Structure 1
Amino acid sequence: MTTGTDGTTWFRRHSTTPAPRRRLVVLPHAGGSASFFHAWGSAFDGATEVLVAQYPGRQERFNEPCVERMDVLADRVTAALLPFADVPLTLFGHSMGASLAYEVTLRLEERHRVTPAALHVSSRKAPHRVTPRDLHRRGDDELVAELRKLGGTDTALLDDPDIRQLVLPPVRADFTIVGTYGPRPATPVGCPVHTWIGDTDPNVAVRDMDAWADVAPHGFRSRVMPGGHFYLVQQHETLTRELAGHLTGTT
């Protein structure tokens, strides 16, 4: 069992970048895994290495205990990321991963004097606007109903009781993180902030994303794309192309 901060445990590379000039660090959503972002490994230029976080309790980390607190998860991800900070880091977090990316950015800056090149946050309210919910205290059927509403998961699999038994524990753990991460001061970060959202997201409004400007004194951009909470599935090519432009300075 591995519960430490080893970068090879915490981050998956979906392709090899021999001599990266920059790294994109992707932090998945609640219930998500690194495999969700497999296609991102080949979506950027040869100088960009993509690292996707693999949280405990899923896939090859199935036997590890899930994390249920944002501060613990952010501390561990930050520690695991430090060996990769020899080149500029850009963080992209989707949904729960957006809050995590923000917390990791603060820790990198405040504790380690590492300022990311940029923070990209997707489909998640700003830290001082988040509204915790109690889904983690509800029954399995309500968790499944939420997953169906948001999309992004092959919810037909959840009809199988055996698969439910495998999938729901990390989902509940992540929803515990989300449900106990309350509104907090709008502490600014030292890098530009970019927000992304689907125009029909059932849980997050465009104005919620605009509030991220309050923590972005070094620059703020927002982008609204067609789609719901998981717009990034349908808009994969557009999103990664525009993100690549930000990474290389051509956008």
Structure 2
Amino acid sequence: MSRVTLFCLPHAGGSATIYNKWQKYLDNSIALYRVELSGRGKRFNQNLYNSMEEAIEDIYYQIKPLLISPFSFFGHSMGSLLAYELCCKIKQQDGLDPVQLFVAGGKAPQCRGSERKLHLLPDDQFKRELKKLGGTPEEILGNNELYNFFSPVLKADYKIIEEYEYPLRNNRLNCGITVLNGTEDNIKAEELMAWNQLTNGKCNIIYFKGGHFFINNHLNSIVQLISETITLECMRKINFV
């Protein structure tokens, strides 16, 4: 069985480093690829994205050489939307589907469109919204110098999320979708169940205790779930063939 590449995509304002600890918990049959978005981390000196289309095009060509082997995606929050759109891009360009798509803390793409335009808020209001959501360190929100350093990335990411328009597609994905969410997150159940409409495969919804950033407190359980699901899917496909 070929090693499966797990592409991991961060939340708004996040970088590839948020997945640094994952490899040691993943099964040896899974290779971790932490996708670095433009304008942060090792790509700090590159331009931020202006649209979802621009982000998908950039990431697609970053990971394209690795699509010769089986692959899966994990995305948290903004990363869930990026992961789905990348699956659609790969299906269109290469005729390939992932072994499994994992989305966390993200409503189904077709349920978007009524987002508040947080990226247009004045800084004081934007900070308050970030604090409500959690995930942004208090050291950043409480320090003007640090905030001014990170806020362009945050606002650029919120912009591409809030201006995203779901494109109607005739073709569904041919893979399972595992939807993870926090019990205290404000995403509605029907917005999570709507992921089922995007695939011909099975769609499972699993809750973890916590809010929008529940993944920070359930690292072992989530990575173990990912490893087991990918392994089972690979075995199922081998047996089916």
- TM-score w.r.t. structure 2 length? 0.90
Question: Are 2:184 and 1:200 equivalent residues in the alignment?
Answer: yes
Matches within 5 A, 1:195-234: 195-202=179-186, 204-234=187-217
Question: Which residue is equivalent to 2:65?
Answer: 83
Question: Are 2:49 and 1:48 equivalent residues in the alignment?
Answer: no
Any idea what the Cα deviations from partners look like across 1:59-79, whole Å, max 9, x if unmatched?
A: 222211100200110111112
- Distance, in Å, in 1 between the alignment partners of 2:163 and 2:108 is 15
Q: Is this contact kept in 2: 1:119–1:192, CA < 8 A? A: yes
- Distance, in Å, in 1 between the alignment partners of 2:95 and 2:166 is 25
Matches within 5 A, 1:232-243: 232-243=215-226
2:173 is paired with a residue of what secondary structure?
A: coil
Question: May I ask how many residue pairs the two structures share in their alignment?
Answer: 232
Question: Which residue is equivalent to 1:141?
Answer: 124
- Distance, in Å, in 2 between the alignment partners of 1:129 and 1:184 is 12
Amino acid at match of 1:196: L
1:247 to 227, 230, 238: 230
* Percent identity between the two aligned chains: 28
**Structure 2 unmatched runs, 5+:** 236-241
Aligned-residue offset at 1:128: 1.0
CA 1:20–1:169 in structure 2 vs 1: closer, same or farther (change >3 Å)? Answer: farther
- Distance, in Å, in 1 between the alignment partners of 2:226 and 2:27 is 11
Matches within 5 A, 1:1-251: 21-130=3-112, 131-185=114-168, 188-202=172-186, 204-249=187-232
Aligned-residue offset at 1:156: 2.8
- RMSD over aligned Cα atoms: 1.8
Aligned-residue offset at 1:143: 2.1
Aligned-residue offset at 1:25: 0.5
Q: Is this contact kept in 2: 1:121–1:195, CA < 8 A? A: yes
Aligned-residue offset at 1:162: 1.2
Q: Is this contact kept in 1: 2:9–2:79, CA < 8 A? A: yes
1:39 is paired with a residue of what secondary structure?
A: coil
Aligned-residue offset at 1:20: 6.7
- Distance, in Å, in 2 between the alignment partners of 1:244 and 1:51 is 14
Any idea what the Cα deviations from partners look like across 1:184-231, whole Å, max 9, x if unmatched?
A: 4365212111111001003x1232111101112222111111110001
Segments of 4+ in structure 1 off by > 3 A?
Answer: none
**Structure 1 unmatched runs, 5+:** 1-18
Q: Is this contact kept in 2: 1:29–1:96, CA < 8 A? A: yes
- Distance, in Å, in 2 between the alignment partners of 1:81 and 1:113 is 15
- Distance, in Å, in 1 between the alignment partners of 2:13 and 2:181 is 19
Q: Is this contact kept in 2: 1:99–1:124, CA < 8 A? A: yes
- Distance, in Å, in 2 between the alignment partners of 1:190 and 1:238 is 26
Amino acid at match of 1:36: I
Aligned-residue offset at 1:93: 0.8
- TM-score w.r.t. structure 1 length? 0.87
Higher RCO structure (Cα 8 Å, ≥6 apart):
2
- Distance, in Å, in 2 between the alignment partners of 1:142 and 1:25 is 33
- Distance, in Å, in 1 between the alignment partners of 2:2 and 2:20 is 18
